[in-house]
Chains A and B, each alone.
Chain A
């Protein structure tokens, strides 16, 4: 039972990490290696708004999300758009941005003290004899709601449909009057906002530390690769797969191996089935 509850929570957390990454990759084929950095950055912005500017909680959350979305869009518009299509340059450039943000925060932002965000609701409850704090339940509920909202957004709004059109066939989308550059900026903005959203939901469960930026990136990549890059449903299912695998290793093998599971999942998936479990990528294109 404990495994079931904490496995579900962990899986939802992984799905939240990965959604933004999957969205950006799915739409503009950009492996956004700055994803983890944006995650930590938004936590830092929320913390600063809350503690330095003394704003109320809701307002600082909104500010953090908006500012992170803006930063993501600006990063794309200024830097990444210039290397669009050159996969390796995209990886190196976005990774350099992520590194600069994270190490910059380590140098100028987080020093000495521990930084925490307050949870939405304090306290805990017991489910089947196991105590679970409310924040974790909130994570599950909002995580599920978010997936639903994203699905509705991409199926029933103009921008959402335009984004999907671009993901499916960029040239056809261009012919129908969808500006792929603007859409890519929008996608990056939404992706960054999702990273911020994940940060605000999940950071209250622990401290804000710079290292989590790297871990979030690895976990997001793991989920997306196992699920198949570009496939959202795959990403959600893979989040559950890796989430439960992680919790099982923690329970039966040891907490040290938690990250090993994610890394092993990436390596094995890439070696055995590079298109991922539910990938729509043409397998032959990636493999010789």
Chain B
């Protein structure tokens, strides 16, 4: 509010936003374009990216972006639609990664079969392991999920199982770079739009009720645990899928799949992109991951860099880019004299 005390800023929905709110109002190309343009931009942009970007290196970066986007998506979904703040994205990555690695090296299955199988199996395993802490809320759930990946890493290290500190080597990669890119891109798009649908169904409504007022859910004779289990399963399937893809991209599964990176960067991406929008995390990843790749030469400085960005966004601009963008797209702002 830099202007004098006699003015205020007001925000008003654009006419076209109001007109396109109801499906019956879709009578002109302009209104349809208003609705479709952002979605087409996102889908088309993502699908075109591997074609536009030069060189193997940047194509690889695209797949890494998508993997982080999957993780960020699970974080956003769990935190803002179910009320379970999971700081342990690395747990999903690790479980999915190791499962896929085992399937691939022991049974010799192709990566394209391994990944979905590992995602489903990993989802079941993660849900089972997280089951005891589902009654927890808030800080407690956050801390316990933060500890899970650390715990798994230490156990693997201490028991020297699954290849110990060396990890599992000799994992097949995807058939080609194109297969790799489009596999993860399509996975991201499917899960993104799938989750957006899900949160608007009746089930999504109940999940949000679990977040906002679980007593009311209980009073409606619905089991909170049942719905939390369902949500965690969905999230861990997505997270494990990310882990499985990652393992096949790097052709190696090791303790570092439980590393903090996989827990922190998705959270940073979500906060930057816009919490609770589901698209925001993807946008955040599209910005953060390439920047962090560019800073790879500086070693751990990139972790400093993205934790500082995360800090700045969460303390000073907690709404995130996506919500800001949505506001600009749907509303006009103007100064008014009072």
User: Hey, which bits of chain A sit against chain B, CB under 8 A?
Assistant: 31, 79-80, 82-83, 87-89, 91-93, 95-97, 99-100, 103-104, 106-107, 218, 221, 225, 254, 256-257, 259-260, 263-264, 266-267, 270-271, 274, 286-288
The 9 closest A-B pairs by CB, nearest first: A256-B158, A103-B303, A96-B307, A263-B151, A99-B307, A96-B311, A103-B300, A100-B307, A271-B132
Main SS of the interface on chain B? helix
CB pair A87–B133 under 8 Å, yes or no, is no
CB pair A31–B143 under 8 Å, yes or no, is yes
CB pair A287–B135 under 8 Å, yes or no, is yes
Stretch from B45-53, B168-176, B314-322 forming part of the interface with A:
B314-322
Main SS of the interface on chain A? helix
15 contacts between A and B (CB under 8 A): A79-B311, A79-B315, A83-B318, A88-B139, A91-B139, A91-B142, A95-B264, A96-B264, A99-B264, A100-B304, A103-B303, A107-B300, A256-B154, A267-B144, A270-B133
A127 to B171, CA, bound (A): 54
CB pair B154–A260 under 8 Å, yes or no, is yes
Can you name the residue of chain B whose Cβ is closest to the Cβ of A94?
Answer: B311
A218 to B304, CA, bound (A): 20
Query: When A99-B303, A270-B133 are in contact, do A93 and B147 touch as well, CB less than 8 Å?
Result: no
User: Hey, which bits of chain B sit against chain A, CB under 8 A?
Assistant: 79, 85, 87, 132-133, 135-140, 142-144, 147-148, 150-151, 154-155, 157-158, 214, 218, 224, 260, 264, 267-268, 271, 298-301, 303-304, 307-308, 310-311, 314-316, 318
CB pair A92–B271 under 8 Å, yes or no, is yes
Can you name the residue of chain A whose Cβ is closest to the Cβ of B228?
Answer: A288
CB pair B311–A100 under 8 Å, yes or no, is yes
Query: When A92-B271, A263-B147 are in contact, do A257 and B315 touch as well, CB less than 8 Å?
Result: no
CB pair B133–A88 under 8 Å, yes or no, is no
Q: How far is the CB of A121 from chain B (nearest CB, A)?
A: 34
**Per a CB cutoff under 8 Å, which of B298, B307, B316 touches A97?**
B307
CB pair B315–A82 under 8 Å, yes or no, is yes
Q: How far is the CB of B278 from chain A (nearest CB, A)?
A: 17
CB pair B311–A93 under 8 Å, yes or no, is yes
A288 to B303, CA, bound (A): 36
Can you name the residue of chain B whose Cβ is closest to the Cβ of A80?
Answer: B315
Query: When A88-B142, A218-B147, A257-B158 are in contact, do A103 and B311 touch as well, CB less than 8 Å?
Result: no
Residues of B within 8 A of A103 (CB): 300-301, 303-304, 307
Can you name the residue of chain B whose Cβ is closest to the Cβ of A86?
Answer: B318
**Per a CB cutoff under 8 Å, which of A256, A257, A267 touches B147?**
A267
CB pair B318–A89 under 8 Å, yes or no, is yes
CB pair A88–B138 under 8 Å, yes or no, is yes
A40 to B260, CA, bound (A): 18
Can you name the residue of chain B whose Cβ is closest to the Cβ of A229?
Answer: B139
CB pair B314–A107 under 8 Å, yes or no, is no
Residues of B within 8 A of A100 (CB): 303-304, 307-308, 311
Q: How far is the CB of A287 from chain B (nearest CB, A)?
A: 5
Residues of B within 8 A of A95 (CB): 87, 264, 307
A106 to B300, CA, bound (A): 7
CB pair B137–A288 under 8 Å, yes or no, is yes
Residues of A within 8 A of B303 (CB): 99-100, 103
Can you name the residue of chain A whose Cβ is closest to the Cβ of B152?
Answer: A263
Extra pairs beyond A93-B311, A107-B298, A107-B304 (19, CB < 8 Å): A82-B316, A88-B79, A91-B87, A96-B268, A96-B307, A97-B311, A100-B303, A106-B299, A106-B300, A107-B301, A218-B150, A256-B154, A259-B154, A267-B144, A270-B136, A286-B136, A286-B137, A286-B138, A287-B136
Residues of B within 8 A of A287 (CB): 135-137
CB pair A288–B135 under 8 Å, yes or no, is yes
